[in-house]
Amino acid sequence: MCALPARGSLESLRFDNRFVRGLPGDAAPRNAPRQVFGACYSRVAPTAVAAPRLLACAPEVARLIGLDPEECQRPEFAEVFGGNALLPGMEPYAACYGGHQFGQWAGQLGDGRAINLGEVVNPQGLHLTLQLKGAGPTPYARTADGRAVLRSSLREFLCSEAMHHLGVPTTRALSLVATGEPVLRDMLYSGNIRPEPGAVVCRVAPSFTRFGHFEIHAARGDHALLRQLADYTLRHDFPTLGEPGPATFVEMFREVCRRTAVMVAHWMRVGFVHGVMNTDNMSILGLTIDYGPYGWLEDYDPDWTPNTTDAQGRRYAFGRQPKVAAWNLARLGEALLPLVGDVRPLQEALESYSATYAQAWRAMMAAKLGLSAWQADDEPLVDDLLALMQQAECDWTIFFRTLVALPAPDTTMDEDALLAPFVHASYLPEGLDAGMRAAALDWLARYQARCRADGRPLEARAAAMHAVNPKYVPRNYLAQQAIERAEAGDLSLLHTLQAVLRRPYDEQPEHEALAAKRPEWARHKPGCSMLSCSS
Ligand code: AMP
Ligand code: MG
């Protein structure tokens, strides 16, 4: 008689691969770059690497998939999640999708370096797809190598988990495994190609379906396959909406609009800039997906983009994200049109995005300011604050956190103490000038009057503000420092950041330094303020 695998062990993971079972695959799955027609995926195995070694794992994600976190330390874990071995039940594949990149239809893109290992069924019965990023080329790799460098993999691992703990809908990350192999990259696209250490992230999500999955079949006029994918998505990703049909496809689209609005409002709340909001990087579940040249807002500037490729057009700048999401949703709506037959209900659902987003933004700004609810005349208060923050170059995270400590409205105190949120958060080398000080004092007086009218007790307001305004975010320069140390073999900062970012709303006095403003040296340093798509 065979012994059963121990509960929580790697061998005990149970797979139920609905995507490959329920949708048509590539009839000729040879692993060479090409156009793949009539299929939602191609079966392809990860390419083995020289020396897989675990650099970090997320115990919470291990538990989520039903794995005992101790299991991550086994050599077998690094073998599987570095791409050298498969567990029983895994059926690896790369998905076919297209996308609009920077506003232009780009044709077939697909998982060029992402390989889905399988859908694990967790102890609660939830299906979670395990996906390796950087596990070698697939039929969708075009001219690229299918690999990922340590710096980009570490950034994805660290940030996607931090986003989860910040309460932002996101794909998760189980592990970061070094491949032991170099990858050639031109980090700044300056003609300076150098070998960098390679690494593989294992991402986890209930579904990795993107807007582009639908767009590719619509663009090719393959409406039968489009319909199959829509049926599948409705049944598995939106099971409460009912039987597939034109009306439920509209409801599905409306739900994607709603979730996308909620996701983007969270991005704005925490100061996250995705950097490459192409339609192939938009999740049907409204999850933040594909962490590339993303960045964290330091001084408030709606025009800021971390992505050097976007420096000219600033299409994906912080303040444009809500509008770009609507543009992307419109492309998804167009792709679904052949299945719905009538543009009006789709148009109407798309319009719900703006209303949902506007409502989410107002609720979010009221919460950031500690107000129990948004009132119709709060708009000038918020607009004036944003204008002031931009002028005074105030750090998005530090400002709101410091505002919490503003004393009770009726306490008389000196100007400097009152101005603390602006002064502490400002990046202006000379500090605030007289005009800015006067404007800030005026705003603070209005804000205090508003808080008084709101009537919330001080402690309740402070607690509410602490719950939505994080103390710790994975600041660009911190991630860069963690990368430089990891490249030199020292993983301590990565692990410290991982631990601190697990509780981003808590004061952690021993880690006060990790909540500090960006130091001056990082202002223009590559990796800190500018990132390329090279990854
Ligand atoms: P991204 O800009 O990361 O969203 O990638 C756009 C497309 O390029 C997707 O189809 C990716 O899978 C593919 N891609 C990016 N980098 C690589 C790589 N190193 N090897 C193969 N495909 C890649
Ligand atoms: Mg992508």
pLDDT tens column, 133-161: 999 999 999 999 999 999 999 999 999 99
Q: Which residues pair with 147 in a beta bridge?
A: 135
Q: Give the number of the atom of ligand 1 that is nearest the alpha carbon of residue 114.
A: 12
Domain spans, the chain: 10-211, 224-361, 376-455
Residue 121: other Cβ atoms inside 10 A: 18
Mean pLDDT over residues 394-408, rounded? 93
Residue 4: pLDDT band with limits 50, 70, 90:
confident
Residue 41 pLDDT more than 90?
A: yes
Q: What 3-state DSSP class applies to 106?
A: strand
Residue 350 near residue 343, CB atoms below 8 Å: no
Mean pLDDT over residues 120-128, rounded? 98
Residue 326 pLDDT more than 80?
A: yes
Q: Which of 431, 317, 446, 465 is nearest to 384 (CA)?
A: 446
pLDDT, position 242: 97
Residue 188: pLDDT band with limits 50, 70, 90:
confident
Q: Give the number of the atom of ligand 1 that is nearest the alpha carbon of residue 281.
A: 4
Structure tokens given for 43? 């079966």
- pLDDT (tens digit per residue) in 381-396: 999 999 999 999 999 9
Distance CA 66, CA 117 (A): 16
Q: Which of 32, 29, 11, 30 is nearest to 143 (CA)?
A: 32
Q: What 3-state DSSP class applies to 458?
A: helix
Q: Which residues pair with 98 in a beta bridge?
A: 108
Distance CA 409, CA 407 (A): 6
Q: Which residues contact 375 (CB under 8 A, 6 or more apart)?
A: none
Q: Which residues pair with 185 in a beta bridge?
A: 194
Residue 50 near residue 88, CB atoms below 8 Å: no
Q: Give the number of the atom of ligand 1 that is nearest the alpha carbon of residue 111.
A: 12
Mean pLDDT over residues 274-297, rounded? 98
Q: What 3-state DSSP class applies to 490?
A: coil
Amino acid (1-letter code) at residue 17: N
The mean pLDDT of the chain is 96
Query: What DSSP string runs through 217-280?
Result: HHHTT-HHHHHHHHHHHHHHHSGGG-SSSHHHHHHHHHHHHHHHHHHHHHHHHHTEE-S---GG
Residue 14 near residue 121, CB atoms below 8 Å: yes
Question: 168 or 28: whose pLDDT is higher?
Answer: 168
Residue 19: pLDDT band with limits 50, 70, 90:
very high
Eight-class DSSP state of 496: H
CA–centroid distance, 233 to ligand 1, in Å, is 23
CA–centroid distance, 231 to ligand 2, in Å, is 24
Q: Which of 280, 283, 291 to mutate to test the pocket of ligand 1 (most atoms within 8 A of CB)?
A: 280
Q: Which of 36, 102, 111, 140 to mutate to test the pocket of ligand 1 (most atoms within 8 A of CB)?
A: 140
Pocket (CB within 6 angstroms of ligand 1): 109-114, 137, 140-141, 144-147, 276, 280-281, 290, 292, 533
Burial 159-188, CB ≥16 within 10 A → b, else e: bbbbbbbbebbbbbbbbbbbbebebebebe
Distance CA 293, CA 377 (A): 37
pLDDT, position 409: 58
Residue 186 pLDDT more than 80?
A: yes
Residue 198: pLDDT band with limits 50, 70, 90:
very high
pLDDT, position 29: 80
Q: What is the largest CA-CA distance in the chain?
A: 83
Residue 158 near residue 479, CB atoms below 8 Å: yes
Residue 406: pLDDT band with limits 50, 70, 90:
confident
Closest ligand to Cα 208: 2
Residue 416: pLDDT band with limits 50, 70, 90:
confident
* 280 labelled catalytic: yes
Q: How large a percentage of the chain has pLDDT more than 70?
A: 99
Residue 411 pLDDT more than 70?
A: no
Residue 164 pLDDT more than 90?
A: yes
Q: What 3-state DSSP class applies to 375?
A: coil
Residue 82 near residue 181, CB atoms below 8 Å: no
Q: How large a percentage of the chain has pLDDT more than 90?
A: 94
- pLDDT (tens digit per residue) in 45-65: 999 999 999 999 999 999 999
Phi, psi dihedrals of residue 114, rounded to the nearest 5°: -100, 135
Residue 242: other Cβ atoms inside 10 A: 13
Report the nearest-CA residue for atom 15 of ligand 1: 112
Q: Which residues pair with 198 in a beta bridge?
A: 149
Report the nearest-CA residue for atom 7 of ligand 1: 109
Give the distance from CA 511 to its chain's centroid.
24
Eight-class DSSP state of 114: E
Closest ligand to Cα 112: 1
Closest ligand to Cα 293: 1
Catalytic residue among 111, 231, 237, 280: 280
Residue 179 near residue 283, CB atoms below 8 Å: no
